[in-house]
Amino acid sequence: MDRMLFRLQEALTRPGCFLCRLEEDYGRRFLEGLFYEFVNDSTVRHKLLAGGFCPDHARMLFTLRPSILGIAIVLQNLLQHYLDGGKLPDPAHCLVCQNSREHLQHLVHLLRTRWESLRSLWGEETFLCTRHLEEFPGAFRLELEEMVRQKLSGILGRLSRLIEKFDYHNTDLPITPQEARSWQETLEFFAGRKLQRD
């Protein structure tokens, strides 16, 4: 089975925007591979000189720290290039973003072509954020929006119960993990970013 299809199937069962989850996972794996296997690759170095890292992927790199030596080599190259009179990298051409965009297009294609078999995997707390809904055209997008609205209605119910449980009359009622997560899921939906940690 296609590894990407397997990851898509698994992400569809998890809370939150499944494409945000897959995008973050891909970015992490790409950075790890980049700093372990492609540090001295001239094509990769040229692309990094042009684009460097966007703020999101620089933050991810800082957090992950896959290979300090690899990071140091790449950053030395970027800094030397700049000090020698080269242009600053344009984060709009971030190599990780470019590769993530291609990966996202493949995921969108997979979802469209395998929708009949994937639809049943869609979890109760799974949705597409506003940013990723825009990736889908026409009637298929309308169908996805309807599913997302159904899932968001469930999240709204859990969010409402969470608020009720903060009332002093209800302090003895336990807050479920789903209710505790509901405000984060709502923020993710509007932000178009995976914010929760697994």
Neighbours of 173 (CB within 10 A): 13
Each residue of 174-194: b (16+ CB within 10 Å) or e? eeeebbebbebbbebbeebeb
For residue range 26-59, list pLDDT tens digits in order.
999 999 999 989 999 999 999 999 999 999 999 9
Could you say which residues of the chain have pLDDT below 50?
none
In angstroms, the CA 165 to CA 162 distance is 5
Of 23, 6, 20, 7, the closest CA to residue 184 belongs to 20
Every domain of the chain and the residues it spans: 3-191
**H/E stretch holding 126:** strand 126-127
